[in-house]
Chain A
Amino acid sequence: MKRRPLSTVVSTLAATAAALALLTACGGGSSDSQAAGGKTTVKLALWNYATTPEFKALIDGFEKANPDIHVEPVDILSDDYNEKLTTMLAGGDSTDILTMKNVIGYAQYANRGQLLPLTDEASKLDPAKQSGLDAYKIEDKYFALPYRQDFWVLYYNKTLLKQAGVPESKLENLTWSDYAALAKSLTKGDGGSKVYGAYQHTWRSVVQATAAAQSGGDLLGGDYGFFKDQYQMTLDLQKAGALLPWATASTQKVTYNSMFSTGKAALMPMGTWYAATLLADTKSGKTKVDWGVAPLPQRQADGKVTTFGSPTAFAVNKNSKHADAAKKFVAWAASEEGATTIAKAGVTPSLQSQTILDTYFALPGVPQDAVAKKAFKPDQVVLEMPVTDKTADVDTILTEEHELIMTGEKSLDAGLAEMSKRVKNEVG
């Protein structure tokens, strides 16, 4: 190589350095979280801050109890939450507290070693009262503590029931065949003004998790004969016109809220999280629907209520620079104080006791009758989807085949056989 004047080399290097500096500047981010006045600032990854009231309630409540810690929300779009969190953690992000939106995501983060163990904090909780705690146990260790536990109930439109002359007490002890008969009898009208007897959202869990919880079937087992009754009933209702067809709900991207809160469906199995939406929308005047809550219908009318649900938890990032403060928050959210705060926001906390239930029922707008009280005290809440390293793959297969059965592209028997075959072959 020929001799290059030094100035050329220097200026080229300088330009390169400047370009690199520009590129890295965006990725750096400062870690200066020690605010003035000796307050520790911890960051909390969460979703849809504006429309999920319990986050603000928790942060406010915790800051009041711990004036030396400031919690700063990191708001992420709900639909992309897990993908975004995966990417953040892969990039070495140090957001202190991570909300575990579902148990599947939790298992992934925990197995990758991205979360700090919280076994000591977990041992202080009462497993009999802390519903959903078991779901977070991985080889005798805990990496997250649940603060809320949602489970499925049956929402009903009081006005539509009254018009049809159905007493609400009938809903206290409903079997699935009673539910189907009721849905058919409540269906009326035609075209744009049609009122469906029931609405079952497009999710596979509406059929599959219900069947698994109530029949004791194993969603990861690879043998799905136990889905049959539940599918049969759903397909039959769809054929009879008592349910909005799955295909329409899916292509029109129908939201369950629009079906129920506008009185287009009389009965709707849905998670307890929906009660918070209904409470808020009723308060702000967005909806005028007169709603009630009943226990999820059962296979047999023996008075026992088995439903399925999924807990939500907080975990501490392994890269957290304020792990102690972060752990304090996680433990507080799972405690009685945290649970009371959540219940006041209209959300069902993980910690269950009569006092907390009373707090929930004392909220303005919450149905007060015996049916509702029974709905909020199920005898057994089965985890929506058991967590192993196979869960995510099985979930994909079950979702795909659910679509084919619900659109009628495959007969029920062929669809169930295909599910079993694919889970056995593809998930090893």
Chain B
Amino acid sequence: MTSTTVAPAQAPSQPPSKAGPKAPSPARRRWRSIRLGWSFILPNFLGFATLTLIPVLASLALSFLDWDSYSTPKWVGLANVDRMIHNETFWTALRNTAYYALGHVPLTLCAALGFAVLLNQKLRGVSFFRTALFFPYITSLVAVAVVWNMLLSPDVGPVNQLLRAIGIDHPPGWTTSTTWAMPAVILASVWRDLGYYMILYLAGLQTIPGELYEAAQVDGASAWQRFWSITVPSLRPTTFFVLIMLTISSFKVFDLIQVMTEGGPGRSTLVLSQVIFREGITQGRFGYSSAVSMVLFVIVLTITLVQFRLQRRSER
């Protein structure tokens, strides 16, 4: 920011002559633009470095230590990893996280795309429906979780009352059943997230030229064919972005589950982020907690890299 004003002073004040000997050499000019670029990035990078990069590196180091946040850390090598491998709760949490992601990612993606296509029509009141679908995303998460808990309450909740009314005698116990707790949480999170991704898809849909559809219509393509052959391929960049954001947020899920079930009943909805929170903040085992968070980091990083590679291959 500051060097931008300084830079001209360094350059000769007269307009650069065409092939004069005083003109800055290409190498020097490149160095200058690099420096200029760095100075633009610097303010943001400083914040990123102090608030994200250094803590991440510290966490990597911590995962080889035994530290309670106060006393002198002790080097324990791979003891934290060893403990993790032999800890049943860690594997349960890992399985649950994968289960959640496998449910949450495809369902949210399909629902967001479906609603975006529906609400891309020129209809009366379309903006009302768009707002209505976006609403859950900006609503307080705690309120969302409390309301879903009430809706899904096994005996007195409206969802089960409705199910009983249409003839299902033994509706699921939702958040009080080990089998149904995870589907219940996924349902609530799809409902919450779909509005945001729908907006992304709506923006993507605006960029598809109308001529393509007209040409296809002239050629006699059905609506379904138009969707598969024009809409879906044209939305590939958006889908890629949505997929990555969804995957990352699924693996990092914490707040909704913490408020809705606290990982229960038993450990049926316990996810990795909760293990990290419990071990670190509640129990004060920051070394072990960092080791678990490194596992989470590696998983998310790997999946993202694989997605990037697949995307690049499909672009070729």
List residues of chain A with CB under 8 Å of any chain B CB: 2, 5, 7-8, 11-12, 14-16, 19-20, 23, 82-83, 86-87, 89-90, 108, 112-114, 245, 247-248, 250-253, 392-393, 396, 400-401, 403-404, 407, 409-410, 422, 425-426
Contact = CB atoms under 8 A, between A and B. Distances in A.
Contacts of B1: 15
Contacts of A392: 282-283
A80 to B, nearest CB: 10
B279 to A, nearest CB: 10
B8 to A, nearest CB: 11
Among A2, A12, A112, A253, residue most surrounded by chain B Cβ atoms (within 10 Å): A12
Given A112-B71, A113-B70, A426-B87, A253 B3 contact: no
A378 B283 CA distance: 33
B169 interface: no
Return the 8 tightest CB-CB contacts between A and B, nearest first.
A247-B176, A90-B69, A11-B2, A403-B265, A404-B266, A251-B153, A112-B70, A407-B176
B9 interface: yes
Contacts of B42: 12, 15-16
21 contacts: A8-B3, A8-B10, A11-B2, A12-B3, A16-B42, A19-B43, A19-B46, A23-B47, A86-B281, A89-B69, A245-B154, A245-B155, A247-B153, A247-B154, A251-B157, A400-B263, A400-B266, A403-B264, A403-B265, A404-B266, A426-B88
Contacts of A422: 88
Contacts of A409: 176-178, 265-266
Interface in B22-52: 28, 31, 35, 39, 42-43, 46-47, 50
Interface stretch (B113-121, B144-152, B292-300, B308-316): B144-152
Nearest to A250: B176
B267 interface: yes
Contacts of B173: 247, 407
A78 B39 CA distance: 45
Contacts of B156: 248, 252
B265 A404 contact: yes
A424 to B, nearest CB: 12
Given A15-B43, A253-B146, A407-B176, 8 more contacts: A7-B9, A12-B42, A89-B69, A112-B284, A251-B149, A251-B154, A409-B266, A410-B266
B6 A8 contact: yes
B231 interface: no
A419 B284 CA distance: 23
A49 to B, nearest CB: 22
A112 B35 CA distance: 48
A250 B173 CA distance: 12
A16 B46 contact: yes
A403 B266 contact: yes
Among B149, B157, B265, residue most surrounded by chain A Cβ atoms (within 10 Å): B265
A409 B265 CA distance: 8
Contacts of A407: 173, 176-177, 265
